[in-house]
Chains A and B, each alone.
Chain A
């Protein structure tokens, strides 16, 4: 079956992130020296440049930092039918990541920056599960 979304190819340093998603856990890297969480995964801390990195399970809560609504197919390899919401989420733990906002009508009058959101897990293949987000407390 053809996938609706391009399949990510995990890099070794991001393996704990992708392994966690498969078990419905949103895992983030954190610096043991300055205690700050960051994203995307990398071998040194972008804040203090230490190399002592640990992984922890994030709350899955955050706010919609910014958004867009795609009215047409923009990426040829992305086959979800428009309109859909492109989302930048700022997690409670600090890092921002790109995702989709689901469970809400794709209408700029209904969606607002800083609205609280929570993670939902979207299985793509046996290997890959993606973190999507919905309005906090369930679909609006």
Chain B
């Protein structure tokens, strides 16, 4: 693993031209815009891309065809929203071994408007064992994890609300964020009840958006347009799909494994990070991820959030783009925390820039803590 550390860099990142409610754009358009913009950010040309890594409804072949290129390396690992985080690790290996030279990890989803969207996936198991009882949307699954966490660890609705408030504070500083009005814990608690334990402001947005990340080997990264961001470590794991099959409902084994692998490759410890990005589909997600990664003991993850800690100017900034909760969440959000992490490490974030950001963690889940990917990114070797 040690020869992989720092061998590959992220050299380009960007979103689609617009994020939000975009009924005039298909999800293929969102996807292609993001790739074009990220490749341009890297100072490369689409013709330079020879590795395509994408998840969801578009296969890498669809994207290769649409771009008019013939990639010599493709990966379509689809294990939920963290697939893109996992694929940075896959691209790391492929680039390191010369199986491709310029890899693009990319995403486009018309999650809100449903333009150019294909029918749903295989439904044999949820259709028999979950749907007849009213399960379907993500809140009906992640709520189970959250209610049980409250029972076992005494976490409260007020503590989850603090995560929404902190994340909104960052969104206020991001011009691309969808929701930028300040909110309070009371606002979260009195927002519309959707599915206990979640009110509306505990749940991520649903938007139309694309995002892409371009990678190449460190030797070649020097010739790109911007300062390279090094992939120091990457890890992944999957545990289950249906929440009933999760071993411990309040601790993600997949998250633990992905973090252990990434930290070991990167040779970093928890205390080394000065910026954290988590996949926040629900307010309870990031605290449980902090616990599962070993930043604290189970039940204490909520203690990372609040003024002076996770917020602007705080000691350990978390979800500085405004997160899936307030910035954008197309469905498979995992590409976006990577983009933010790279921008912070480059120092491009303007009003929300974390001073001295040098080592950043990206951790995301797929499904309901079913799969996990962790990246350790740095702006120096």
Interface of A toward B, CB cutoff 8 Å: 5-11, 14, 39-40, 46, 65-72, 74-78, 80, 84, 86-88, 95-100, 108, 112-114, 124, 130, 132
Whether the pair B128, A9 counts as a contact (CB closer than 8 A) is yes
Stretch at the interface among B41-49, B96-104, B143-151: B143-151
A5 to B145, CA, bound (A): 24
* Residues of the A chain whose Cβ atoms lie less than 8 Å from the Cβ of B131: 5-6, 8, 75, 77-78
When the two chains form the complex, which single residue of A8, A66, A113 contacts B132, counting CB atoms closer than 8 Å? A8
A78 to B133, CA, bound (A): 8
* Residues of the A chain whose Cβ atoms lie less than 8 Å from the Cβ of B197: 68, 108
Could you jot down 12 A-B contacts, CB within 8 Å? A5-B133, A5-B134, A8-B132, A66-B147, A67-B147, A68-B195, A71-B195, A71-B196, A72-B192, A74-B134, A75-B131, A97-B129
A114 to B147, CA, bound (A): 11
Question: CB of B186 within 8 A of chain A?
Answer: no
Whether the pair A86, B143 counts as a contact (CB closer than 8 A) is yes
Whether the pair B195, A6 counts as a contact (CB closer than 8 A) is no
Contact status of A88 and B132, CB under 8 A, knowing A66-B148, A71-B194, A75-B137: no
Contact status of A70 and B244, CB under 8 A, knowing A6-B131, A86-B134, A98-B135: no
- Cβ distance B281 to chain A, nearest Cβ, rounded Å: 15
Range of interface residues on chain B? 20 to 34
A76 to B243, CA, bound (A): 21
* Residues of the B chain whose Cβ atoms lie less than 8 Å from the Cβ of A75: 131, 134-137, 140
A86 to B148, CA, bound (A): 13
Q: Using a CB-CB cutoff of 8 Å, which residues 243-281 of chain B contact chain A?
A: 243-245, 249
Main secondary structure of the interface of A (DSSP, over half): loop
* Residues of the B chain whose Cβ atoms lie less than 8 Å from the Cβ of A66: 143-145, 147-148, 151, 249
- Cβ distance B238 to chain A, nearest Cβ, rounded Å: 14
Chain B residue at minimum C-beta to C-beta distance from A88: B144
Q: Using a CB-CB cutoff of 8 Å, which residues 67-108 of chain B contact chain A?
A: none
Whether the pair A40, B136 counts as a contact (CB closer than 8 A) is no
When the two chains form the complex, which single residue of A11, A14, A98, A114 contacts B130, counting CB atoms closer than 8 Å? A98
A43 to B177, CA, bound (A): 47
Chain A residue at minimum C-beta to C-beta distance from B152: A113
Whether the pair B129, A40 counts as a contact (CB closer than 8 A) is yes
Contact status of A86 and B140, CB under 8 A, knowing A6-B131, A65-B148, A78-B131: yes
Against A, the Cβ 8 Å flags (1 = close, 0 = not) of B160-175 are: 0000000000000000
A87 to B135, CA, bound (A): 10
* Residues of the A chain whose Cβ atoms lie less than 8 Å from the Cβ of B128: 8-11, 14, 40
* Residues of the A chain whose Cβ atoms lie less than 8 Å from the Cβ of B243: 88, 98
Q: A65-B148, A100-B134 are in contact. List 20 more A-B contacts (CB 8 A).
A: A8-B127, A40-B128, A65-B249, A67-B147, A70-B134, A71-B192, A71-B194, A72-B193, A72-B194, A74-B136, A75-B131, A75-B136, A77-B136, A95-B244, A98-B133, A98-B135, A99-B133, A113-B147, A114-B151, A124-B132
A113 to B249, CA, bound (A): 12
A3 to B147, CA, bound (A): 29
* Residues of the A chain whose Cβ atoms lie less than 8 Å from the Cβ of B134: 5, 70, 74-75, 78, 80, 84, 86, 100
